[in-house]
Structure 1
Amino acid sequence: MEPKLESGRLDSATLAKCTYRSVAFLTALYENSKYADICDEICSRFKVLDIGSFELTYAIPDHPNCLLQSDMDVRMMLMCLEMLNIRIVDILVKDRVNSNIEGAGQNHVESAGSNNVPIHTTPMSRTVETHSATGENEHLGNSTSHEDNAYLSQGWREYISHAGQKFEGGATEFRNKLRMYAIEMGFRFVYTRNDKFRVIAECFKKSEGCNWHIFGASCQANGYFYIRSLNNVHTCTSCTRGPKSKMMSSKIISSVIVDQIREKPTIKPADIVKDFKQQYGLDISYRIAWAGTKLAKSKVHGDESLSYHQLVWYRDALMSTNPGSHCVLESDPGTSRFQRLFVCYGACIEGFQWCRPLLFIDAIFLKSKYKGQLIGATGKDGNQGYFPFAFAIMDSESDENWSWFFDNLAKVLTPEGRTITFVSDRNKGLIEGISNIFPTSHHAFCLDGLKKNLFSIFPATYAKFFQERIVDLFMRCAYAPTEAAFEFNLKNLKDEGGAPIKTFLENLPKENWSYAYFKGNGYGEICNNVSESFTSWVSELWMLPICQMVDGLGIKLMDIIAERNREAGQWSSVLCPEMERTLNKTLIVGKDWNVTCSSASVFVVHAEGTITVDLSNHFCSCHDWQRKGFPCAHALVSGQKNSGSIYDYVSNFFKSSYFRSSYATLISPIPDMENAMHEGSDDRVILPPLSRKSPGPMAKKLQSVEKLPRAIKCGRCGAVGRHNKKTCTANI
């Protein structure tokens, strides 16, 4: 196709530098030049292009991507250039999306220059399914592609386009985009000068005669960085975009994933490696991905050591924006290093009064740079949802820190005047803290944790059915409704479990795990599943710097309170929806039972056996009503027989009115932490704690008071205990 641009006087023409990939040519434009003429000229120079297979953009100062699509665009471009007194314009030729260009994967085109040197271009950053079985194309199969499978790095080729291009981020932005451009175009460069004012780079293969170079400098007037000169044509022997590039760096990774880190702080370097392979077609090492992730987190969340000092401002901001809150920050008086932080919002203090007097205590080890431990005290609302009440962050797990946590917990709970029931795993510091600070409260050990302990005391050589049998007998003891039933099941447990079970039970007070002897009201919640929900709730935050983590917890808490406040306003039932469903299911169970009235409040229910119900004392001889705090089927059919409202026998804690009151007080947002360290804050400096390795896995749960040693079965006497065949002293 012959070019159709009309000739004229060159001194009145505007020169257009048309660039496709890394190849460029110059042509003259006149005031009567047409858009079709420009396209014909481009197709005549770049044989791989056809009309309609590409699109054009041009650059003028401050506007590097102006569309060129019609004769009107051409006239407007020439008018602007004349007004700006510019005689040369850069026109960028880009492949049109979803175009099917025959031969688009060619690796080079012939230059129109006089010396006819082969100019190597960079193939598109896309994947392709090749149908060729021949050698070279098979190895280059990923270097060209159809646009439908474009990589996200395709836009990097536009990062460097023309002289005069502006970079508002200064030399740092320029260097990053220059590297990304080189990665996408498939070449390497070296710096001949590199400082914050000037950057000069040339092709790595300059020794082979390649004249590609770029020169950029900062403008003192506005601080921006500009490309002063650019020769964007490579004449070296090879310039092919591949899956690996020596221009890749952790800073490039950081700039690409910074938004991803903001949305998902827990993303792992291995996931970054996988994403770059799938989305960018680039192979990066785990080391570079790890370093890039660390840099991105620093950009998003700031310096981790400085975050500890920001806690001083955060504490003051929380107390001023949320009156009635309890927030205590302590540091070592000698070293000024962080020790512990306790947070309980005023909205939680007010709302917990309308929840059951029940708190689940759990702790997790943090994954941030300086480790530490996060402790949560979580309640349960009337709709069976978790109610985050208070949390604390400690520099380490110790008896002193546990005591300090419960001491602050007592300061917000004592004014309520209620006896609190605590549920937790066994832990020495935790147990002592509760008994010392809350001497009148009741403490239940989580049955799930005890079941795990039971499995651990028997070796794998024991049959699984035996282990399950021991656990079943133990649970029968735990749920035995009376002391007599407990003692009966306990005897069976000891008989079948032998010495290991007897040793296990010696240090396990029955008042802490058996319903028959437990003096508190656990509302049927003897498993610590609420704390498990809290752990899952905060898991996406435990890798953040401490101040950002605390702020994140506050935001999540603010959101959940506001959301449940809105939901509760739409309820019309007497009970919370979850408990209303439970009530209806329970009513169906006893619909065919006969009920006999014994007195004004005492009834006899004839079910599978004879059950006595005392409505006035909330008592049922099946003990489910007392154990769960919610009417059993026997109580409900008795209430119906009494011709009263069955809702009168349901605790107020399960009613919608109490639920609304639990979430009536909202949490006020805390100002942006960018404004931290304002006047009026404490002048002391908080340093991070000395980093120490957490025991076991980072997210390891609280350990039991003791880890019982594995039981050994003697090969001589057959007894299970702590001796073997060699040390056996039994008389045979």
Structure 2
Amino acid sequence: MEVGTEFVEISQAKRAVKEYCSVSVLPYFVERSDKGIFIVRCPKARDGKYCPFRIHIARKKSGAFHVKRHVKHDEYCMVEPKLNQLLTVTEARILLSKEEDVAARDLVSSIKKKYAVDTPYKTAWRALAIAKHQYAVEDGKSFQRISGYLEAVSRENPGTFARAERTDEGEFLRAFACLAASIKAFQFARPILYMDCCPIKSSFGGTVVGATAQDGTGETIPIAIGLCPIANEGNWTWFLENILMAIPDLNRGHVTVFHDRRDGLSRAIQSVLPLAQEAVCCNGLENELTNISRKCIPLFWRAAKAFNPASLTEEMQRIGEISPDAYEFLVRSKPVLWSTAMASVSRFGIVTGTAAESRNSWYKEFRAIGHLRILMRFVEKVGTGQVRGSARLKDELDLVTSTAMSIFKENLAKGSLLQLTSFSEDAFIVADNALSQAAVGLDRVVKLDQKTCSCGEFQIMCFPCIHAARAIQYRGDDPTTYMHETYRVSYLKNVYSVKVVPVDLYTDSGPCDGMKPPKNDIGKLAKKKTSQSTTTSMTAKSITCSRCGSTGHNSRTCTTN
């Protein structure tokens, strides 16, 4: 904690001091705490012993607070750390900020490892409850700064499209952010958009919806993020409409949108992006196919990865022989959505099973934090990704990446063993019999000017296959002219050309606008009560006297002589 560090409120300064002492394992006691001054010292000072440790927070003339003095502990100061409730709560807050689900036993283990102090389970449980309550209060107040923060991000990063919506009662409804860096990156990335969502597990709930893309090397690029109450067709439509306003080129026939068959997402894509192609995640299909026939799973994945319709048909026939029900299920699921061979545009050989779930894992760490912190973390993710991408490509000086050239050399090494017959300057026949005895008599037709091969890999991967590599070697052409433009270093550098300007939440975002947090309708389920008609229909058991035979009393209370 450096001298001169400023804070807007005294509560922020107190929390920063407590977290600093907790992380640095510095025992302390509060010597003075009021509206204008906050001082902590070494516990030895209470016993009249000398230790120079002191942190002094004071108010400035402008009204803000700053670190006026910070003197470190004496190197010979031997003070045993005593873990009080306040320090335990601070440690709980640190754990909650790093991990999604923290149990009391996790806090006990962390304190034991860090301070060598045994903490009672009830103490840890209470500390976690207090820390979660503090986060809930902070998250509730943070909604007032969402609009100002998004406006500041848009102002500091021209071209950014960000907005926040509220209800008629002034409560938070939805928020959307797509930075200028992401908009520029998508123009030079693969024309593929991955969409997914995950629930927010913070105090006010909700859902994070996100969209990502890939650069030419397969690295994930965050494109947009949205915060909404629930992932339904209406909110998916709203999210896609905002992305389309930020990136108008998204509604094109060469763009593919991957998703995992979320409720209403397919209808929203067809409504907002009617020209874009649609693809589904194969992991969900695999889960449903497991309930039908486990033996068909390997065949299903080979069918999904097939490069040409003939291979797809062959695998589907094998599935039909094993399980007709599995075959009918896959046909109903529309192979054009899950098979790369049936796609009308190139998907770069990407297996649909790794689309939504693995590519969008970048934002699943947001689930345990509040709405404002999610937006701030998203901006941070985009900014750090741009810097790392630029650094990664700094030493790339060739026309295409070194990875792409190494893959081409591998294909060329295999293709050089193949027999080639030239019919014209453009058309070639390449035989596969040199690589596999099973492929004897199987010839592949390569047309270099059209960038196609009858095996299907050339046009699906947008990269020369072994047959095309053999033809390119025969003609002596430059192999980079047959690679997709996204493999080029110039395109990759354009992906990471725009840098993100960070925004200070308290100095750049302006005053609070009074936005209220959303109503949290989550509560315990109502008990199933017995209806009144059922209780009234029940008849009481009648009592009969054994002496007189009358009803309504027994022999002990009978008055008959």
Task: Bin the TM-score by the shorter chain.
Answer: 0.7 to 0.9
Cα distance between partner residues in 1 of 2:125 and 2:401 = 47
2:447 aligned partner: 614
Deviation of 1:454 (Å) = 1.1
Cα distance between partner residues in 2 of 1:633 and 1:375 = 40
Secondary structure, aligned partner of 1:374 = strand
Cα distance between partner residues in 1 of 2:401 and 2:497 = 15
After superposition, the Cα gap between the structure-2 partners of 1:542 and 1:417, relative to the gap in structure 1 and judged at 3 Å, is closer
1:490 aligned partner: 316
Cα distance between partner residues in 2 of 1:567 and 1:301 = 39
1:167 aligns with 2:31: yes
Deviation string 1:370-416 (CA, Å, 9 cap, x unpaired) is: 22111111111012111111111111121111111111122223246
329, 341, 345: which is aligned to 1:504?
A: 329
After superposition, the Cα gap between the structure-2 partners of 1:509 and 1:689, relative to the gap in structure 1 and judged at 3 Å, is farther
User: Which AA in structure 1 matches 2:226?
Assistant: A
1:364 aligns with 2:194: no
2:256 aligned partner: 421
Secondary structure, aligned partner of 1:360 = strand
456, 467, 470: which is aligned to 1:634?
A: 467
1:392 aligned partner: 226
Aligned counterparts, 1:564-583, within 5 A = 564-583=389-408
Aligned counterparts, 1:176-575, within 5 A = 248-249=84-85, 251-256=86-91, 264=98, 266=100, 268-269=102-103, 270-293=105-128, 295=130, 303-333=138-168, 335-415=169-249, 418-419=252-253, 420-455=255-290, 457-458=291-292, 467=294, 469-483=295-309, 485-499=311-325, 501=326, 504-505=329-330, 507-529=332-354, 531-575=356-400
After superposition, the Cα gap between the structure-2 partners of 1:174 and 1:691, relative to the gap in structure 1 and judged at 3 Å, is farther
2:507 aligned partner: 675
Quick check: which has more Rg, 1 or 2? Answer: 1
2:515 aligned partner: 685
1:623 aligned partner: 456
User: Which AA in structure 2 matches 1:517?
Assistant: M
Deviation of 1:561 (Å) = 0.2
After superposition, the Cα gap between the structure-2 partners of 1:314 and 1:691, relative to the gap in structure 1 and judged at 3 Å, is farther
Confirm or deny: 8 A CA contact 1:618 1:626 kept in the other structure: yes
Cα distance between partner residues in 1 of 2:501 and 2:400 = 28
Deviation of 1:484 (Å) = 5.1
After superposition, the Cα gap between the structure-2 partners of 1:311 and 1:291, relative to the gap in structure 1 and judged at 3 Å, is farther
1:652 aligns with 2:501: no
After superposition, the Cα gap between the structure-2 partners of 1:482 and 1:258, relative to the gap in structure 1 and judged at 3 Å, is closer
Gaps in structure 1 of 5+ consecutive residues: 1-150, 161-165, 183-218, 224-240, 459-465, 695-732
After superposition, the Cα gap between the structure-2 partners of 1:557 and 1:481, relative to the gap in structure 1 and judged at 3 Å, is closer
Deviation string 1:471-499 (CA, Å, 9 cap, x unpaired) is: 12323433444545544443432342233
Gaps in structure 2 of 5+ consecutive residues: 1-21, 48-57, 59-64, 66-78, 434-441, 525-561
Confirm or deny: 8 A CA contact 2:404 2:487 kept in the other structure: yes
Cα distance between partner residues in 2 of 1:297 and 1:265 = 13
User: Which AA in structure 2 matches 1:673?
Assistant: L
Deviation of 1:632 (Å) = 0.8
After superposition, the Cα gap between the structure-2 partners of 1:685 and 1:587, relative to the gap in structure 1 and judged at 3 Å, is same
After superposition, the Cα gap between the structure-2 partners of 1:273 and 1:516, relative to the gap in structure 1 and judged at 3 Å, is same
User: Normalising by the residue count of structure 2, what TM-score does the alignment of the two structures yield?
Assistant: 0.74
Confirm or deny: 8 A CA contact 2:244 2:251 kept in the other structure: no
Deviation of 1:663 (Å) = 0.8
Secondary structure, aligned partner of 1:382 = coil
Higher RCO (CA-CA < 8 Å; seq separation 6+): 2
Deviation string 1:394-439 (CA, Å, 9 cap, x unpaired) is: 1112111111111112222324674310112112311111111111
Secondary structure, aligned partner of 2:367 = coil
Deviation string 1:417-474 (CA, Å, 9 cap, x unpaired) is: 743101121123111111111111111112232212211x24xxxxxxx61x211232
Cα distance between partner residues in 2 of 1:470 and 1:656 = 41
Confirm or deny: 8 A CA contact 1:620 1:634 kept in the other structure: yes
User: Which AA in structure 1 matches 2:88?
Assistant: I
Deviation of 1:600 (Å) = 1.3
After superposition, the Cα gap between the structure-2 partners of 1:278 and 1:331, relative to the gap in structure 1 and judged at 3 Å, is same
Structure 1 window deviating more from structure 2 (510-519 vs 373-382): it is: 510-519
